[in-house]
Chains A and B, each alone.
Chain A
């Protein structure tokens, strides 16, 4: 199974400041179709997960442009350019290239 490792696991951030979450995979995530299926999910307190980013850097419709994804190979990053109060929650990376699908441990973003 592909191991997904996130860091940090806890991220206190000041409102209006940037935040960055790292995700590392134990294997490359390039699919046989040439695409890299690395997704980012946000789970606000008491809510279902919601996909923010797919294929490394494509934003879902309706996701604010302060969220961006980048990376390649086995190293990926989710960045929030200016954290807002509504961004509090847990963020997960997930690889969608190999079965079984595997998630990172989650990074809890909170306001300082």
Chain B
């Protein structure tokens, strides 16, 4: 069974940092790009970042460029999102999603940025 398990969320103060993790299983991880998508409370879906299958190419939404960094470890079937200089508007549920077409989603991990 294809599965994505998101973790690492929590409460952080404005300006702080957090690293999210996504553990993948049930498919050939090295064959697929991966993304992070977020959903602010009561709002819609917003793509945040993507990484190519080999990890050499990364993409970011303008709203997080320069503050967030996506990476992957193909030896561990893991994807990460390092989030720095966090703002209140980054408060959201963050989902890991498989492939460039988001065919499988994780259960989400909640990030709250508040003092």
Contacts and interface: CB of A to CB of B under 8 A. Distances in A.
22 contacts: A37-B101, A39-B102, A41-B45, A41-B102, A43-B45, A48-B95, A48-B105, A48-B107, A50-B105, A51-B102, A51-B103, A51-B105, A60-B103, A92-B45, A99-B50, A99-B59, A101-B35, A103-B44, A103-B45, A104-B44, A105-B44, A106-B45
Given A48-B107, A51-B101, A100 B59 contact: yes
Name the residue among A48, A49, A96, A106 with the largest chain B CB count within 10 angstroms.
A48
A39 B101 contact: yes
A96 B59 contact: no
Contacts of A37: 101
A49 B44 CA distance: 11
B23 to A, nearest CB: 15
Interface of B: 35, 37, 44-47, 50, 59, 61-62, 95, 100-108
A29 B83 CA distance: 31
B100 A92 contact: no
Contacts of A94: 45, 102
Nearest to B48: A100
A43 B37 CA distance: 14
